[in-house]
Structure 1
Amino acid sequence: MILVTGGTGLVGSHLLYKLVSNNEPVRAIYRRKHKLDTVKKVFSYYSDNAESLYNKIEWMEANLTDITSLEPVFKNVEHVYHCAAFVSFEPDRYHELRKINIIGTANIVNLCIDNAIKKLCYVSSIAAIGHNENPEKLITENTEWNPEDDNSVYAITKYGAEIEVWRGTQEGVNAVIVNPGIILGPGFWKGGGSSSLFKQIYKGFKYYTHGITGYVDVWDVINIMHQLMRSEITNERYILVSENLSFKDFQEKTAKALGVNPAKKEASKLILEIGWRLDWLNHKLFGKRRKLSKQVAQTARHKTVYDNSKIKTDIKFEFNLIETSIQKVSTYFLDDLKNK
Structure 2
Amino acid sequence: MEKVLVTGANGLLGAHVVRELLSRRYFVRAMVREQSNLKALNGLDIEFYFGQVTEIGDVAEASQDCSFIIHAAARTAQKPSGLESYRLPNITSTTNCINVCRNQPVKRLVYVSTANCFGNGTIENPGNEQRPFNQWMKKSGYAYSKYLAQQKVLEAVKNKNLDAVVVNPTFIIGTNDVKPGSGQIFSHILNKKIALYPPGGKNFVDAESAATGVVNAMEKGRAGECYLLAGENMTYKNFFKMAAEIAGENPILVPVPRFLIRGLGVWGDFSEKVLNRPLQINSVNARMLCMDNYYTRAKAIKELDLPITSVRKAAEKAIGWFRQNEYF
State whether TM-score is above 0.5: yes
2:10 alignment partner, one of 8, 11, 17: 8
**Alpha carbons of structure 1 residues 127 and 67: separation in structure 2 relative to 1, 3 Å:** same
Q: Does the C-alpha gap of structure 1 residues 139 and 115 become closer, same or farther in structure 2, counting only changes over 3 Å?
A: same
Q: Deviations over 1:196-248 (max 9, x none)?
A: 22233215364212312111001111111222222263221111111111111
Q: Structure 1 residues 311, 38: closer, same or farther in 2, change over 3 A? A: closer
Residue 173 of structure 1, aligned match among 157, 162, 169 = 162
Match of 2:293 in 1: 304
Relative distance call for 1:210 and 1:232 in structure 2 (3 A) is: closer
Alignment of 1:242-261 (within 5 A): 242-261=231-250
| CA–CA separation in structure 2 for the residues paired with 1:261 and 1:164 | 47
CA distance 1:32–1:196, shift in 2 (3 Å)? farther
Q: CA RMSD in A?
A: 2.4
Cα distance, 1:282 vs. partner? 5.0
Deviation of residue 264 (structure 1)? 2.3
Deviation at 1:262, TM superposition (A): 4.1
Gaps of 5+ in 2: none
User: 2:148 — aligned with what?
Assistant: 160
State how 1:97-176 maps to structure 2 within 5 Å. 97-131=86-120, 136-147=124-135, 151-169=139-157, 170-176=159-165
User: Secondary structure of 1:264's match?
Assistant: strand
Between structures 1 and 2, the one with greater helix share: 1
Q: Check if 1:195 corresponds to 2:195.
A: no
Q: Match of 1:185? A: 174
Q: Deviations over 1:39-63 (max 9, x none)?
A: 21xxxxxxxxxx2xx2x21111111
In the alignment, is the contact (CA less than 8 A) between 2:9 and 2:18 conserved in 1?
yes
1: CA distance, partners of 2:11 / 2:74: 9
Cross-structure match for 2:283:
294
Structure 1 unaligned regions, length at least 5: 41-50
Counting aligned pairs with the same residue, the percent is: 25
SS at match of 1:295: helix
Q: How does 1:57-72 map to 2 (within 5 A)?
A: 57-72=46-61
Aligned to 1:20: 22
Q: CA deviation at 1:251?
A: 1.3
Change (3 A) 1:92 1:307: closer
Change (3 A) 1:13 1:284: same
**Among 261, 275, 291, the residue aligned to 2:264:** 275
**Kindly tell me: are residues 280 and 260 of structure 1, through their superposed partners in 2, closer, same or farther at Cα, counting changes over 3 Å?**
farther
Q: What secondary structure, in the 3-state scheme, does the structure 1 residue paired with 2:38 have?
A: helix
Kindly indicate whether the alpha-carbon contact (under 8 Å) linking 2:188 and 2:196 is maintained by their aligned counterparts in 1. Answer: no
Q: CA deviation at 1:79?
A: 0.7
DSSP-derived class of the 2:203 partner: strand
Kindly indicate whether residue 322 of structure 2 is the aligned counterpart of residue 330 of structure 1. Answer: no
Cα separation, partners in 2 of 1:318 and 1:59, compared to 1, 3 Å: closer
| TM-score normalised by length of structure 1 | 0.87
Partner SS state of residue 239, structure 1: strand
